[in-house]
Each structure stands twice: as C-alpha cells, then as structure tokens.
Amino acid sequence: MPATPEVATPLIDAHGRTVSYLRLSVTDRCDLRCSYCMPERMKFLPKKDILSLEELETVAGIFIDLGVRKIRLTGGEPLMRKNIMHLIKALGRRLDGGGLNELSLSTNATQLARFAEPLAEAGVQRVNVSLDSLRPERYAEITRWGKLDAVLHGLEAAKRAGLKIKINCVVLKSFNEDEVDDLLRWCAMEDFDLVFIEVMPMGDLGAQTRFEQFLSLQKLEEKIDADWGLIALPDNTGGPSRYYRVQRLGSRIGFISPLSHRFCALCNRVRLTCTGTLFTCLGQEGNKDLRAPLRSPHDPITATREAIFAALASKPEGHVFLIQKDRVQETNRHMNTTGG
C-alpha cells in the first residue's frame, strides 16, 4: 500500500485527542422517518443552504490534507442525494495513497440494491446499515412506512458486490428488545457485524417519549454475555463502540452506549452537516460555520482551514446527554441534521 502523506499540522484538540475521522452529512433529507430520529413532519433545512457536491468534495479534501484518514458519508439518507456518486467517486480517488484510508457509508439500504456495485467500484469498503427489526410490520412501524424487503435486497446486493456490512440497531424499550437474539443469530449467519445503539436525546420528540424509548444497554450487554458469551476485542475505532466476539456464534458485535457508558475520552471524530456546520461533539451545541469560509472570494482553503482549527480548539471534553424520567438534556438538532 502506498505511504500515507505526512501532515504538517495535524488536527489535535485542546484535550490532546487527534482527529482523524470525519462524518460528512450530504443531505438531511430521508425517504424514511424513523421515530427515534425525527418527527413524521420533519422540517428540513432550506435547499439554498446546502453545500454543492463540489463544495463537499473541497471541504472533504481540506480535512484529508489536515490528517483525516477515514470518512463516512451519512445524512439523512446519503443515497437520496442527487448525483451522490460524483462525490463518492471523487473521494474514492483519494484512497490508495491520496491520504484517505477508508471511505464508508451509513445508509438505510432502501436504495442499496442499485448502488451497491457502483459504491464498491468507487472504493467504498464498508456500509453501515440501519436496521432495527427483522419483522416487516415492526420495521414499517419504526420507520413509519419502510419496506423490509427493499433493505434485504439491498443487503444481498452489497454482499454480492463484496462490501463489508455492519448492521446498526437502535434498541428501544418494549419495542425490539425481544429481537436481540434473532438479530444476533441472523447477523452471525449472514457474516454481518452487529452494533447495538442506545437511543440518544437528539432533537425534540418530547421528554416523555425519549424516556419511554430509552433502554440502557448495560443490562442488555450483561444478558448477551450470560446467554452467548462475550470476549472483549481490542478493535477500537477511536469512537464509541466497544467490540466483542460472541463465543457461541463466532460473530462480532459492538455496543454504542453513550448514556450508560461514556465514550468521549478516545473521541477522534468531527461531524460536518450538509450546510457546512462543523460539530466537534455529537452531544453538544458548539459549532463552527465552514460554509462562509468555503465560499470566501479570498483564499477559501486557508479561511476554511483556520475555521477548522478554531473549532478544534474548543472541541468539548464530552457530551452532556441525559435521559431521566423527569429530566432530559438533549441537543436542539435531530440526528439526521447532524449526520449520525
């Protein structure tokens, strides 16, 4: 593999953490309305504020030149963005010696059947597919109208195209906790990694709703350990997931549990919204606009770099999420806006 270029000024925050991972949201729009992610009548960002594909490519390039080695495209639903393959192909050209080590995608997989092959050809190695239930009626309920079949076809196509697949499952109290064993068996059989995610209080859905949705993954982890046997793995993405080998299935699973298990000390990532707002923490409001510097008539690259460094200097030590019966501390923005 060609050597990764040296970085003159790496992205190091005030807490000594090196940022090497960018989550890049390419749209806040989505063809589904997962009930923990956004309300049914979601108000989307004004189209005029959304960065063009060329601007997204430029800003991603600036991050790569500053030491970002891993980019995950997200949204909203990234495959709903018109002409998204233009951006993906351009970023794919930064793999293999162009500074980028990994290009991946978070997707709900409704469009994956037609995109799997071109994604693999462009250099995407892995897709993280959001799937909270294997039961068609339940899947339709949680997504408000999604069709499970479309997702399963998408997954088959992704497998055929040679993409590695990780299933992201948000576990909700009294909704899908009873499917955990089915999901474990199914993912092991299909050779998919599986990550259970704790619901996060992002965007107003009503404090009561959040409390009713929330299930601490700590107990779930203990139960899976007792039933299936978990061996901790050293795999660390510099992020929130803790990974295990499932002894009785041979598969790999992870847990993202920001509320029951704080993960911030190793955080290596930042998130850019599709309107060019840089969030250095998923669970805080602090942000920096990169759209204005990107559009600056005078040396936009330098202006954008400076804005990125300024944002990094104030990257918070950790999130402030809280979900209790009588109190919820949440972000004002929904997950689809920030880019999950």
Binding site for ligand SF4 (CB under 6 A): 30, 32-34, 37-38, 75-77, 108, 130, 335-336
With tokens 């790496």, the residue in question is 10
With tokens 């339940």, the residue in question is 138
Instruction: Please count the residues of the chain.
Output: 340
Residue 251 binds ligand SAM, judged by CB under 6 A: no
Three-state DSSP state, 101: coil
Residue 170 binds ligand SAM, judged by CB under 6 A: yes
197 binds, among ligand SF4, ligand SAM, none (CB under 5 to 8 A by kind): ligand SAM
Q: In degrees rounded to 5, what are phi and psi of residue 321?
A: -60, 145
Helical residues (DSSP H) of the chain, grouped into ranges? 53-65, 84-92, 112-122, 136-143, 148-160, 180-190, 207-213, 217-228, 291-294, 300-313, 335-338
104 vs 108, which CB is nearer to ligand SF4?
108
Residues 6+ apart with CB under 8 A from 194: 166, 167, 169, 183, 184, 187, 251, 252, 253, 254
Residue 37 binds ligand SAM, judged by CB under 6 A: yes
Q: How far is the CB of 30 from ligand SAM (least distance, A)?
A: 6
Q: How far is it, in rounded angstroms, from Cα 32 to Cα 147?
A: 10
Three-state DSSP state, 267: coil
56 vs 200, which CB is nearer to ligand SAM?
200
Per CB under 6 A, the list member of 11, 19, 30, 312 interacting with ligand SAM is 30
Residue 108 binds ligand SAM, judged by CB under 6 A: yes
Q: How far is the CB of 293 from ligand SAM (least distance, A)?
A: 26
Residue 55 binds ligand SAM, judged by CB under 6 A: no
Pair of tokens at residue 287 = 């942000």
13 vs 28, which CB is nearer to ligand SF4?
28
Residue 304 binds ligand SAM, judged by CB under 6 A: no
Number of residues that bind ligand SAM (CB under 6 A): 19
Residue 199 binds ligand SAM, judged by CB under 6 A: yes
Beta strands 287-289; 269-272: pairing state: unpaired
Q: How far is the CB of 273 from ligand SF4 (least distance, A)?
A: 13
Residues contributing to the site for ligand SAM (CB under 6 A) = 30, 36-37, 74-75, 77, 106-108, 130, 168, 170, 197, 199-200, 202, 335-336, 340
